[in-house]
Each structure stands twice: as C-alpha cells, then as structure tokens.
Amino acid sequence: MKQKQKNAQPKKHPITTVTQCRVPIFWPTNKPPRSKNIPDLVIENDWGKGTIKQCRLTQVHRNLLDVIFAYHKVLYRYEDGCVGFLVNLYEVQKCLQIEVHNHSWILSKLKDLMKTIFVTETDDWVITGVILRKHSYSKKDAGHTPDKFGLNKLYYLVFEAEFMKFFDLDMHVSYFQLVDKIINLKSPVCQALVRFCLSHRCLNMDL
C-alpha cells in the first residue's frame, strides 16, 4: 500500500455521517442474534436503504468506531482512498469501559468489522463492502506496562476505501464532546437513537 500522506500530529477525523446515523448498519443491541444462521439486517426509510449480510455488528462496534475516530493518535491517508489510524488499545478499551487484561476482546470486534459486508443505498450513491481492511501492532510504543496490559505498542488500523467514501459523499457528523456520554448510556437503543437525533439540526417527529 503506497502512502500518500502522513500526519505527524494528531488530527481529528469526523466521527460519522448523516446517512450512517439515519440508515445504520449496526443492530440497536449490544449482542448480535444468537441464531447459528444470523439473518441479514435490512433497514429502509426515507433516507435510504441499508443491507448488512449476516450482521454481527452492534452498538458495541459503533462505539468502538466512535472512539477510534475521536481519540486516534495519528492519521494516515493513502492514494487508494484507505485511511489508517494509530490508536492505543489500552485507552480505547478504557473509553469503552471494558475491563480486561489483554487485547483479545477488542481484536474479536475488529474481526467482525473486517468480515461483515454492507450495502448502503441513497438516491445519489451506493456504497458497498466491508469496514476494515487490516489491523496489526505498530512499532511505536504505546506508553503502558507491557505485562500489565498486552503488548506495549500502538495499534494500526486501515479502513477500507469504500467505507471511507461515506466521508467524501455524505455530510459529516461530529460529536467529540458527547462520545463518552453516549457510551455511558446503558441502553444500546438509546445510543442508536441519540446518534440518529444528532444527525438532524431540527427534529420534528414522534419518537
């Protein structure tokens, strides 16, 4: 992968977009269906249609994306449209309030982001693919004690160009100061609803 640009300093990236909030590709739950044959998730409304094949993605995964986009250390852009982020997994799991002593939990969520296929359709464009291309430890020190919390290295994540098209084609939604508050909400339905509401300047509808 040829690198187009490297930002040596932290740079904020939009957290999500209007269509992602209104035609979400995440179950409004904390756990996917328990069925062996996980059904496709189809959401269709006035803003578009979203189809997610055998969807395992939940508000836990959406929370994870929020934290990555809000708290990454360094951002990389590539000529093919992919975008890479360096994050501290210890800080990410702390933000998500996950009390574990290794990285296995978060790595399983990243695996879901790599294999779940989605299609989002609006009147103007169609985006289809998976969210994450690859992930691995970097060579940069993370600054925590290795034997206390996994490998002492920042973690490298590369998001697929197709998923990043949302940020090229759609209106951005950024709620940096609200990320922790949304994660603190106990109900995943409320988390999804708050994100939906934040995509509107003025909401005039019955909840």
Query: Distance between CA 198 and CA 5 in Å, rounded?
Result: 31
* Tens digit of each residue's pLDDT (9 = 90 or more) over 2-39: 555 554 445 679 999 999 999 999 988 888 777 777 77
HSE-up of residue 153 (Cα within 13 Å, Cβ side): 10
pTM: 0.88
Q: How many CB atoms lie within 10 A of CB 103?
A: 18
pLDDT beneath 50, residues of the chain: 7-9, 203-207
Q: What is the pLDDT of residue 157?
A: 97
What pLDDT is stored for residue 40 in this prediction? 84
pLDDT confidence of residue 148: 59
